[in-house]
A = this chain, B = another copy of it.
Amino acid sequence: MKPPKSLPPADTRLSILDASEYLFANEGYRGTTLRAITKRAGVNLAAVNYHFGSKETLLEEVIKRRIEPLNMERRRRIQEVQDLASKKGKKPVVKSVLQAFITPTLEFRDSEPGARDFITFIGRAFADPDDSVRKVFVRFMHPIFELMHRTMCLALPDYPADLVFWRLQFCMGSLFTPCISAAIFTWIHQMSQTWMQHPLMLLLFLM
């Protein structure tokens, strides 16, 4: 009897991405060593540099994999809200614009294992003093954030643009900040309300 065929070689690249996502979220970028990643992924230490070139490129790939489809969906929905409104010759509705951004986030969060880790990671990245982490996030988020800002300014033509900017900043920040984002989700379940009833979301733009 032949020895059993060796296990189908699990996609090394993918296990590295998954392991990194988990560890980056729970230990931070700096706090995660390549050795911890490769051990968790069950691959050789050199695999990271072979497949990604460097730790920093790995970070970029970890982020890109999740954020690109997420932002694509966000962009689609925001555009939809904007188009629908302009077709009727009206302003976009604040609540719909917010919804267009946030709903995909919440759906994504529950869509697959690892997504929750990623959201945690994003939250920490906002407060991360390490440039190499924050800058990558900002680079990926800047375009969609600008779109949000423009659309929100359309929705609130009487508000000065920089005020809208700050409210948006606040709103986005609180959505991802770990302790707060956790509170939001707890709230949703506890109150059996939609996130839209959340005072922060409601009031940041509606008062």
Contacts and interface: CB of A to CB of B under 8 A. Distances in A.
Nearest to A167: B183
Contacts of A179: 126-127, 169-170, 173, 177
A186 B31 CA distance: 32
Interface of A is mostly: helix
Interface in A78-123: 123
Copies of this chain held together in the complex:
2
A167 to B, nearest CB: 8
A199 interface: yes
Given A27-B130, A166-B187, A203-B203, 13 more contacts: A25-B129, A28-B30, A30-B30, A31-B129, A127-B127, A163-B190, A166-B183, A169-B179, A170-B179, A173-B177, A174-B177, A199-B200, A199-B207
